[in-house]
Chain A
Amino acid sequence: MGYGQLLGVTGALSYIFINAQAKTYWNALTAANGSEVQGSVYGTTTNLLKKAIDDFFITGNTDGWLVKLLMMYPEIGATANTHAINAINPGTFNGTFVGSPTHNATGFLVNGTTQYMECNNMPSTDGYSNTDFAAGGLVTGVTVGASDLQLAGSAGSATSRDQISRILTTGYWRTDLFNNTTARISTLDATNDKVMIATKPASGSAILYLDGSSIGSHAINSGTLPSFETYLGAANSIGTAVQHINGTIKFYFRGYGLTAVRVTSLTNAIKNLQIALGR
């Protein structure tokens, strides 16, 4: 047990972060809105809240996935200012909220028609590779409607798609990577509050994981990553937000180099963070 953890448990003194990246994220959260980023918002103490964030980053360092993430929105806090923060590198790729989503301690609620978040990054250029990338998220309260719903992504042409996560009217999760004619990879019923991660490894097929378990894979057609920024809560179709999802978005990330082992670790870390946040 580290010194910081001991202090966190006693609650007598302020928790001391072990992971520097976690501390940077915490400082960004408190700078954005200190009054909401406290343990009482989540039914815990602020020291334990800090420890939960620290543990998340420590696990990511230990298991090798943290360095693979280019952007991550843990949606901690209860306002747009805190939910916009990219925890990997606060200030870079911070989000912009469109259409006035509702923010609370669970995440941000989008209405399925007008609301989403611009991630302010460009898949084709911002650190992504056509041959190795990954993305994933956690959403709850989704009502499958008469249209397809996009958790996140963008599309520039028939062979330039990056709609990583998607729910069909039938309730299937799917990914659209480059060319969506081969992209439906699971018939598993979409269940809310499950960690969904899609990977396109450097070699081999794309894989979709639900709560850490592979639920399908498909071969990748040739193509490019879109030159349209990623939207979260909708897909960016040549500059227009379409197929808005409804529900509360709790977590989203993009990165690369996620092996099955790393996916399992990241999934568990995301779930443990939600438990610590009481949501």
Chain B
Amino acid sequence: MNYVIISEEFALSKKEYKIGISKFGFAITADGRFFCDVNSLKEFPEIFEGINYEIADLKEDDFIKYDDKINV
């Protein structure tokens, strides 16, 4: 599935970006890349203006795996 690969700095700076009831969201791949859904490009076009990003086809193996307990 295609996702938008973004920089760590961009992701963290937009962590609380919100319009109405919609909030920007991202996650981190197992190898440390930050990414968001392609829908975010349409929902929050203003924050992507002038920002370098790339579209990548991420697979199940790219995502962080959790065991059956949340580590808290």
Contacts and interface: CB of A to CB of B under 8 A. Distances in A.
Contact of A100 (B37, B65, B70): B37
Interface residues of A, number: 39
Contacts of A148: 66-68
Interface string A152-180: 00011110110100001100000000001
Interface in B31-72: 35-37, 39-40, 42-44, 58, 60-61, 63-72
Contacts of B1: 111
Given A168-B68, A243-B70, A100 B22 contact: yes
Interface string B11-45: 00000001011111111000000011101101110
Contacts, number: 93
A100 B40 contact: yes
B65 A147 contact: yes
Contacts of B21: 80-81, 84, 94-97
Interface residues of B, number: 32
Given A80-B22, A114-B27, A116-B25, A100 B39 contact: yes
Contact of B23 (A98, A102, A243): A98
Contacts of B37: 99-100, 111, 113-115
B70 A99 contact: no
Nearest to B26: A114
Interface in A89-128: 94-102, 111, 113-116, 118
A224 interface: no
B41 to A, nearest CB: 9
A96 B43 CA distance: 14
A235 B69 CA distance: 11
A217 interface: no
A101 B40 CA distance: 9
Contacts of B25: 98-100, 114-116, 241
A269 interface: no
Interface centre among B42, B61, B64, B68 (most CB of A within 10 A): B68
Interface centre among A94, A95, A100, A145 (most CB of B within 10 A): A100
Nearest to A160: B72
A146 B23 contact: no
A145 B27 CA distance: 17
A38 interface: no
Contacts of A72: none
A158 B66 contact: no
A132 to B, nearest CB: 23
Given A113-B58, A148-B66, 19 more contacts: A80-B21, A94-B21, A96-B18, A97-B21, A98-B22, A98-B23, A99-B39, A99-B40, A100-B22, A100-B36, A100-B39, A100-B44, A102-B39, A111-B1, A111-B37, A114-B3, A145-B60, A156-B72, A235-B70
27 contacts: A81-B21, A84-B21, A96-B22, A96-B23, A98-B24, A99-B37, A99-B39, A100-B22, A100-B42, A101-B39, A113-B37, A114-B3, A115-B37, A118-B23, A146-B61, A146-B65, A147-B65, A155-B70, A180-B69, A235-B70, A237-B70, A237-B71, A237-B72, A238-B72, A241-B25, A243-B70, A244-B27
What 4 pairs between A and B have smallest CB-CB spacing? A99-B25, A100-B39, A98-B25, A100-B43
